[in-house]
Amino acid sequence: MAAPIHVERDGPVTVVALDRREVRNAVDDATARALHEAFLAFDADDSARVAVFHGEHGHFCAGWDLQAGAKLGGAVFDHLDFDPADAKALGPMGPSRLLLSKPVIAAVSGAAVAGGMELALWCDMRVMEEDAYFGVYCRRFGVPLIDGGTVRLPRLVGMGHAMDLILTGRKVEAAEALQMGLANRVVPKGKSREAAIELAQQLAKFPQATMLADRMNAYEQWGKLLPEALHAEWERSKQRIADGIEGAGRFASGEGRHGKF
């Protein structure tokens, strides 16, 4: 049997690809575990800076494999209760309960629906092909969002848009996804992987410690009062002031002006 995921390296960029053509890259238990392990390995690899997550054969992910779930019955998720203090907790779709220390970019083609949409929401950014689409398609089957969809979607697009998508389960195409902030970039059909890797290579060239500190501060400010959030930002980022002074020196010497990277 072919492996359900492939992991490749492109310099500092790790590419994690779903490969279950017969079910539009729907995820079963074995695939969820493989994704979880792959992203933990990426996070632990000091030479890897950014990951790109995409689906082979024209689709990102059609969600949980309902056919596999039906065969296993009600006990399919019994092992997935978790302690919120567990930094490596396994989610139903695999990595959805992880907060990695480094960014992941979703390259979205075709369907990114139900749990597949939740995996895309888990990523830091989403590069979407012009004919791709999101949707809480599990609404029609009575399957709940249990991979962070009800948490990440309102945080990303606001409660009004989130309620529309969560309650109706309707299809959201690329132009609307970009308008509401669900997608960060829209690219031509067949170009999401290439564009996401190009974006990842750009992120990999920045001073990493400062970028990662800013990223983690943005994630950890949720639920904190403003003074507490500001203090946490200062405590983590004051260590990066020396990097900023060094960067200011490079700017003064002519680097990075006029929007150049």
Q: What is the DSSP string of 160-171?
A: HHHHHHHHH---
Q: Which two tokens stand for residue 121?
A: 């929401």
- 80 pLDDT band (50/70/90 cuts)? confident
pLDDT at 250: 60
Cα separation of the two ends of the chain? 44
pLDDT at 69: 65
For residue 252, how many other CB atoms are within 10 A of its CB?
9
d(CA 105, CA 52): 5
d(CA 229, CA 236): 11
Q: Which two tokens stand for residue 31?
A: 């695939």
pLDDT at 66: 83
Write the burial class of residue 95 (CB in 10 Å: 0-12 exposed, 13-18 middle, 19+ buried).
buried
- 245 pLDDT band (50/70/90 cuts)? low
In this predicted model, what pLDDT tens digit does every residue of 196-229 receive, in sequence order?
A: 999 999 999 999 999 999 999 999 999 999 999 9
pLDDT at 1 over 70: no
Mean pLDDT value of segment 72-97: 86
Closest CA to 222 of 163, 165, 151: 151
Q: Which of 134-148, 203-217, 236-250 has the lowest mean pLDDT?
A: 236-250
Q: Which two tokens stand for residue 127?
A: 């590069």
